[in-house]
Amino acid sequence: MNDLTQPIRSIWLSLFWKEWHEHKWKLVSLTALCTLGLCLFGLSGPHSLQQGVHAIAHFYAMLAGIFLGMSTAGRESSRNTLPFLQSLPVPMWQPAAAKLLVVLCTATLPILALTCIYCVWHTFYSISGIDLSQSNWYGPNNKFYNWGISNWLVATILSSILVASSLILWIAAAGANRSDEIRAGAIGFLIVCLIWLPLAFGLNIADKWDLPMLKYWVGILFAAAPGGVAFVGTGYGSQGSTDWWQNFLPYLESAIVGHGCVLIWYLRHYGKAGPGTSRTDGKTLALASSGYQYLAPPMRSQLTAIAWKQVRETGPLALLAIAGVLLLTTISHFTNDYQVCRHNLGETLGGITASVCFFVTLVTGIGVFLEDLKPQVDQFWRSHPVDYRLWFGVKFVVGATILAVTFGSLMLLALLLSDRSLFGGDPHPATAVGFTGLVFLLIYTLSMATYCILRQPLYAAVLTFGLLFAGIIIPQLICHHFFDTTLPSQAKLPLLLLSQVAATFVAWKAVKNNWQMGEI
């Protein structure tokens, strides 16, 4: 396909060719990430493999769903290629459909690759006389025990694919036409939370007041919600009754109808003039004639100016994160079986804050230089007398501070609600808090560094995950294989600090060296 001496014969082939070229390296990098993860589990021993497949497939589904969804929604706008796409003499639903299909394949193939690798590994161990079904994880206490290993594998793979596909579709639809991937992802994430919230309330009310019909209908609606289809399938799959299919069918219908509607919405709206794409309109003209009278005084210093800019760029994401955490906490609090009380609310808030903090830290790190390093904007700020060291330093510090304040406040609230039991088991809670803070700082710096090097949000996210996987597991393996011991706790802090310094240095060098200028 690379040698285009002949024109491509059809519109669809042409569109698929374009999307394939834009996604092939994403596919490779996501497959490599899954494979690396599984290999690292495998190195811990053959019995960890199954646990590895389960963990990686589900974690990957969430990761791929969010990041491929935001990439689908915002990449063309971010690269300023949407006007070109719009100018093609085809209805916009065709490029949108081609993009979505290729993205779904990109999300699915790494999971299938994971399955293949597992099967090969499983066969190898079977030949070697090691029975993986005797693993602790795959034991009678596991809810998948009765399924048999083949069915378990199919269910795991299928549910991962469904979760990833559902999230991609929802986030792509919700974030379509946003100006970049980060905004698309943020809006998509918020909408997903807003959909889950009433459903969670519904389930809670149905449980509390014992309303089976309400529970049934909320369950049906849940199948249509982002990622809900997989959970419904899992729940009914373990029943093993003869009318399983009869029970399952309404959920399947709901999932198909719900996702079908979202698909139609996406196809109808993708590439249409959306927020931020309109040019001079009536409002602008009115402002043009009346709004140029007032000019605020200049900012006092370069530091203030850069800090103000960073607050404006990261602030909305932080506010969105707070809203997301509070929504998810509410959902989780009301859908769990435990007693509704202040202590449990605090525990839930703490857990969700930590999980959301991970994703938001990653996205914020990528977003710090997202706009600055776009080719034309890169030239704009560099052509002014801006000291890149100040630019880098202030942006880095302000971004990290916003994250620390945001999640610090949420964690403090969680601590207060749970009566300080979040770190209750730790003999040195202050040290634990400090260490956790450093871990998140490293995630932030690492994602910033990978974006500054690669200048592609999705690749940056994948590389960050890969580096985190490797950084967590490889030192453990080295200690295990060469010294027959676990990584001593005293070594963790120096390793963390060393990684922090290295990541900061790489990010700084990547901002300093404006490679984009080399492209003519």
Partner 1 sequence: MSDPVIEIKAVSKSFRRNHVLREMSLEVERGQTFAFLGRNGAGKTTAIRLLLGLLDRDEGEIRVLGLDPTEQPLELRARVGYLAEDQTMYGWMRCAEMLSFIAPFYPTWDHELALKYAREFEVPLQTKIKHLSKGQNVRLGLVLSLAHRPELVILDDPALGLDPIMRKQFNRDLITHLQGEGRTVFYSSHLLYEVEPVADQVAILDQGQVVRQCDTEHLRSDVKQIMLGRDAVSLVDQGSILDQRPDGPEMAIIVEGAEAILDKLQREGTDHRVVDLNLDEIFEAYVVGQGETEPVASTNR
Residues forming the site for partner 1 (CB under 8 A): 179, 276, 278-281, 283-284, 287-289, 291-302, 304-305, 308-309, 312-313, 371, 374, 376-377, 379-380, 382-387, 514, 517-520
Task: Please tell me the total number of residues recorded for the chain in this structure.
Answer: 520
Least distance in angstroms from the C-beta of 299 to partner 1? 5
Picking from 211, 263, 323, the residue whose alpha carbon sits closest to that of residue 104 is: 263
| CB 472 within 8 Å of CB 466 | no
Tell me how far apart the alpha carbons of residues 406 and 416 are, in angstroms, rounded to a whole number: 16
CB contact set of 320 (below 8 Å; sequence gap of 6+) = 186, 189, 190
Start-to-end Cα distance in the chain? 26
C-beta closer to partner 1: residue 249 or 377: 377
User: How distant, in Å, are the alpha carbons of 55, 58, 242 from that of 156?
Assistant: 10, 8, 22
Nearer to partner 1, 143 or 283 (CB): 283
Q: Which is nearer to partner 1, 281 or 337 (CB)?
A: 281
- Nearest distance, CB of residue 300 and partner 1, angstroms: 7
**Which CB atom, from 140 or from 518, has the smaller least distance to partner 1?**
518
User: Closest distance between partner 1 and the C-beta of residue 312, in Å?
Assistant: 7
User: Between residues 14 and 302, which has the closer beta carbon with respect to partner 1?
Assistant: 302
Nearer to partner 1, 279 or 481 (CB): 279
Name the minimum Å distance from CB 296 to partner 1.
5
Tokens, residue 324:
């997301």
The three-point CA angle 365-368-372 to 5° equals 145
Rounded least distance, CB 376 to partner 1, Å:
3
Q: Coil, strand or helix: which one is 351?
A: helix
Question: Which three-class secondary structure state does DSSP give residue 121?
Answer: helix
Spatial distance between the Cα atoms of 329 and 344, rounded to a whole number of angstroms: 11
Cα separation, 172 vs 14, whole angstroms: 22
Query: Between residues 9 and 300, which has the closer beta carbon with respect to partner 1?
Result: 300
Alpha helix segments (H runs only) across 368-456: 375-382, 388-417, 429-454
For partner 1, which is the closer residue by CB, 4 or 520? 520
Do residues 254 and 223 lie in contact, with contact meaning Cβ atoms separated by under 8 Å? yes
Would you state the structure tokens that stand for residue 168, as one six-digit string? 């991609």
What's the min distance (Å) between Cβ of 364 and partner 1?
16
Cα–Cα distances (Å) from 220 to 229, 241, 251, 360, 499, in that order, read: 9, 19, 5, 30, 47
What does the alpha-carbon distance between residue 67 and residue 213 come to, in Å, rounded to a whole number?
36
Measured between alpha carbons, how far is residue 15 from residues 18, 82, 262 in Å?
Answer: 5, 14, 22
Smallest gap from residue 457 Cβ to partner 1 (A): 17
Measured from the CB atom, the residue of 74 and 233 that comes closer to partner 1 is: 74
Give min distance, CB of 302 to partner 1, in A. Answer: 5
Beta carbon of residue 84, minimum distance to partner 1 (angstroms, whole number): 15
